[in-house]
Chains A and B, each alone.
Chain A
Amino acid sequence: GENVEQHPSTLSVQEGDSAVIKCTYSDSASNYFPWYKQELGKGPQLIIDIRSNVGEKKDQRIAVTLNKTAKHFSLHITETQPEDSAVYFCAASSGLMNYGGSQGNLIFGKGTKLSVKP
């Protein structure tokens, strides 16, 4: 089955610097890669996602890149702000949901705790 590894587990940056979080996946059939931000005591919030038919997607200060050949994808946050401090999770899935099958389920990385120091 799919396995997603996420690095680093913790990341500390100064306000205004950039932050990069990387994930690798094992299943070449995976075609959907979302990123979630989880603040303390809250549920994860989808912040950006990418599908395998594109190599990069950007939304204001955040961007995601995908390298299908190498089977890795990355989250880039520019001009970091203290409110970006949170745990970030990457995930991968390989298809649509099926009853009795799990091929559409998201497989999550273990998370990266990002701290932005003012």
Chain B
Amino acid sequence: SQTIHQWPATLVQPVGSPLSLECTVEGTSNPNLYWYRQAAGRGLQLLFYSVGIGQISSEVPQNLSASRPQDRQFILSSKKLLLSDSGFYLCAWSPGTGPTDTQYFGPGTRLTVL
């Protein structure tokens, strides 16, 4: 069966510091990968998605970036965090073939920028 991991689970960072969040998927090959942000009490905002290694599409312009160095690894980064970057970050995957729109979410990373 497939599993998705995110770490760290929680993170407290000062404004202006760098960020690196990691997501890995097990049990599947060539998945589509997604990063979402969820602000407190609000819905899900798609930040980035990837259909393959090195193929990253950005949905929202911001000071965040994403990379996919390996087939089942997706990284969310920032060079300098802003207060507005606080939130709950969710990674998701969907199958690369067949019904590719069914997304499965990871446990999330709670980021607090102070």
Contacts and interface: CB of A to CB of B under 8 A. Distances in A.
Interface of A: 32, 34, 36, 41-46, 49, 89, 93, 95-100, 102, 104-106, 108-111
Nearest to A6: B43
A41 B38 CA distance: 11
Q: What's the dominant secondary structure at chain B's contact region? A: strand
A99 B94 CA distance: 14
Contact of B57 (A34, A41, A45, A100): A100
Contacts of A110: 42-43
Interface string B47-84: 00101100101010000000000000000000000000
Nearest to B96: A97
Interface residues of B, number: 25
Interface in B66-114: 90, 94, 99-108, 110
B43 A105 contact: no
A100 B101 CA distance: 16
Given A44-B105, A99-B52, A110-B42, 15 more contacts: A32-B99, A32-B101, A43-B90, A45-B105, A46-B102, A46-B104, A49-B102, A97-B32, A97-B94, A99-B51, A100-B57, A105-B59, A108-B43, A109-B43, A111-B42
Nearest to B32: A97
A101 B96 CA distance: 15
Nearest to B105: A43
A110 B108 CA distance: 18
A104 B96 CA distance: 12
B42 A43 contact: no
A43 B99 CA distance: 21
